[in-house]
Structure 1
Amino acid sequence: MKNLNKYWTLLEDILTGVFFVSGLGLIFYGVLMRYVFNNPKPWVEEISMYSVIWGILFGLSVALRNDHHIAIDLLYDVLSPKLKRLMNIFANLVGILFCIFFIYYSFNLVSSTHKTGMVSLTVGIPMWIIYVILPISGTLFLIRFIERFIQTVRKVDNYDHSSI
Structure 2
Amino acid sequence: MTGLEKPNEEASIADHKKPPKACPEAGLFGRIVNRMGIVFSVGILVSAGILFVEVVMRYVFNSPTTWAHETVVFLNACAFIFGGLYVAAHNKHIRVVLVYSMIPDGPRRYLDAVISFVCMVSTGFFAFASWSSIQRAIWTPQGQFHLETSGSAWNPPFPGTLKVFLFVIMIALTIQFFIYTLKFAFKAGAK
Tell me the TM-score range normalised by the shorter chain: 0.7 to 0.9
Structure 1 runs (4+) deviating above 6 angstroms are none
Tell me the residue number matched to 1:68: 92
Moved more, 30-39 or 88-97: 30-39
Sort the Cα spacing of 1:44 and 1:145 in 2 relative to 1 into closer, same or farther, 3 A: same
Sort the Cα spacing of 1:105 and 1:25 in 2 relative to 1 into closer, same or farther, 3 A: farther
Tell me the residue number matched to 2:118: 94
Report deviation, 1:5. 4.3
**Total equivalences in the alignment:** 155
Calculate percent identity across the aligned residue pairs: 22
Mapping 1:10-89, distance limit 5 Å? 11-89=35-113
Instruction: Say whether 1:152 aligns with 2:176.
Output: no
Instruction: Answer with 1 or 2: which has the greater Rg.
Output: 2
CA distance in 2, matches of 1:25, 1:146: 38
5+ residue gaps in structure 1?
157-164
CA distance in 1, matches of 2:124, 2:132: 12
Moved more, 63-72 or 76-85: 63-72
CA distance in 2, matches of 1:85, 1:92: 11
Sort the Cα spacing of 1:140 and 1:21 in 2 relative to 1 into closer, same or farther, 3 A: farther
TM-score by length of 2: 0.69
Sort the Cα spacing of 1:84 and 1:70 in 2 relative to 1 into closer, same or farther, 3 A: same
Report deviation, 1:50. 0.8
CA distance in 2, matches of 1:24, 1:144: 30
Tell me the residue number matched to 1:119: 149
5+ residue gaps in structure 2?
1-26, 141-145
CA distance in 1, matches of 2:170, 2:111: 22
CA distance in 1, matches of 2:181, 2:69: 39
Instruction: Give the CA RMSD over aligned residues.
Output: 2.6
Report deviation, 1:57. 1.0
CA distance in 2, matches of 1:6, 1:131: 23
Report deviation, 1:4. 5.0
- CA deviations 1:53-73 (Å, max 9, x no partner) are 011111211111123334431
